[in-house]
Structure 1
Amino acid sequence: MSAHSIFSPSASHRVLNCPPSLMLCAKADDHPSPYAAEGTCAHELCAYLVGKELGWDAKDPVENLDIYNAEMQACAEGYASFVMEEYGKAKAACPDAQVFVEEHVDISRWVPGCGGTADCIILADGVTEVIDYKHGIGVPVSAASEEFGGNPQLMCYCLGVLEMFDGIYDISAVKMVIYQPRRESVSDYTMGKADLLRWADEVLAPTAKLALEGKGEFKAGDHCRFCRVKATCRKRAEHNLEAAKYDFAMPNELEDHEIDAILMIVDHLTEWANDVKEYALAEALKGKVYEHFKVVEGRSNRKYTSEEDVAKAVEAAGFDPWEKRLLGITAMTSLLGKKKFEELLGGLTFKPRGKPALVPKSDKRPEMKNSAEEDFKE
Structure 2
Amino acid sequence: MGEHALLSASSSSRWLVCTPSARMEEKLTDTTSPYAEEGTRAHALAEQWLKEYVATGYLDEGTLAMDAHDTDGEMMEAVRRYVDIVIEKINEARTVSPDAEVHIEYHLDYSPWAPEGFGTGDTVIVSDHYIEIVDLKYGKGVPVSAVGNTQMRFYALGAHNAFGICYGYDNVKMTIVQPRLDSVSTDEISIAELLAWGTQIRPIAQQAWDGKGAPVAGVHCRFCRCRTTCRALADYMLSSVKKDFAPGAELEDWEISDIILKAKEIKSWLKDIEDYALSEALSGTTWPGLKVVEGISRRKITDEDKAASILQLNGYEHDTVYKPRELKTITELEKLCGKKHFSELLKEFIEKPEGKPTLVSETDRREPMPLQDVADDFDDTLLEDFIQKGDKTL
Aligned to 1:100: 103
One-letter amino acid of the structure 1 residue matched with residue 295 of structure 2 = G
TM-score (norm 2): 0.79
Answer whether contact 1:4 1:112 (CA < 8 A) is retained. no
Q: Which residue of 1 aligns with 2:26?
A: 26
Tell me the amino acid that sits aligned with residue 160 of structure 2.
L
- Is 1:160 the equivalent of 2:158? yes
Q: Structure 1 residue 241 and structure 2 residue 238: aligned?
A: yes
Structure 1 unaligned segments of length 5 or more: list them. 145-149
1:111 matched to which residue of 2?
114
Offset, 1:97:
3.4
> Does structure 1 retain, via aligned residues, the 8 Å contact 2:172–2:191?
yes
1:332-375: CA deviations, max 9, x gaps?
A: 6874894x767666666666555543322223333333337359
Q: Match for residue 42 of structure 2?
A: 42
Q: How does 1:171-320 map to 2 (within 5 A)?
A: 171-203=169-201, 205-246=202-243, 253-306=250-303, 309=306, 319=318
Worse-superposed segment, 127-136 or 349-358: 349-358
Distance 1:178 1:255, change over 3 A: same
Cα root mean square deviation, aligned: 3.7
**Bigger mean CA deviation after superposition, 308-317 or 15-24:** 308-317
> Does the CA-based 8 Å contact 1:98-1:122 persist in structure 2?
yes
Whether 1:365 and 2:362 are equivalent positions in the alignment is no
Q: Aligned partner of 2:151: which letter?
A: Q
Counterpart Cα distance in 2 of 1:6 and 1:213: 11
Q: Which residue of 1 aligns with 2:146?
A: 143
Q: CA deviation at 1:270?
A: 2.3
Shift of 1:180: 1.9
Say which SS state the counterpart of residue 226 (structure 1) adopts. coil
Percent of paired sites with the same residue:
39
Structure 1 distance, partners of 2:343, 2:242, is 54
| Closer/same/farther in 2, CA of residues 95 and 295 from structure 1, 3 Å limit | same
Deviates most, 257-266 or 56-65: 56-65
Q: Secondary structure at the residue paired with 1:132? A: strand
TM-superposed deviation, 1:4: 10
1:298 Cα offset (Å): 2.7
**Would the alpha carbon gap of residues 247 and 206 (structure 1) be closer, same or farther in structure 2, given more than 3 Å must change?**
closer
SS of 1:190's equivalent? strand
Q: Any conservation in 2 of the 1:70–1:334 contact (CA below 8 Å)? A: yes
45-54 vs 1-10, greater mean Cα deviation: 1-10
TM-fit CA distance, 1:69: 2.9
Structure 2 CA distance for aligned equivalents of residues 336 and 110 of structure 1:
43
CA contact (8 A) 2:241 2:258 kept: no
Contact 2:139 2:178 in 1 (8 A): yes
User: SS in structure 2 opposite 1:188?
Assistant: strand
How far apart in 1 are the matches of 2:35 and 2:318? 40
Distance verdict in 2 for CA 1:114–1:261, change over 3 Å: same
- Residue 73 of structure 1 is matched in structure 2 by 76
d(CA) in 2 for partners of 1:247 and 1:336?
A: 49
- Aligned residue number for residue 135 of structure 2: 132
Look up the match of 1:90: 93
SS in 2 for 1:121: strand
Any conservation in 1 of the 2:173–2:186 contact (CA below 8 Å)?
yes
Asked if 2 retains the 8 angstrom alpha-carbon contact of 1:128 and 1:171, the reply is yes
The AA in structure 2 aligned to 1:37 is E
Give the greater-gyration-radius structure (CA): 2
CA distance in 2, matches of 1:134, 1:278: 27
User: In the alignment, what sits opposite 2:391?
Assistant: none
Q: Distance in 1 between matches of 2:3 and 2:326?
A: 57
Please report how far the alpha carbon of residue 250 of structure 1 lies from its aligned counterpart in structure 2 after TM superposition. Answer: 12
- Secondary structure of 2:226's aligned partner: coil
Aligned AA (1:73): M
In structure 2, do the counterparts of structure 1 residues 227 and 327 end up closer, same or farther at CA, with 3 Å as the change threshold?
A: closer
Q: Distance in 2 between matches of 1:179 and 1:165?
A: 23
Aligned mates of 2:36, 2:338 — CA distance in 1: 29
1:147 is matched with none
Give aligned pairs, total. 369
Distance 1:290 1:326 in 2: 43
Asked if the contact 2:157–2:195 (Cα under 8 Å) also holds between the matched residues in 1, the reply is yes
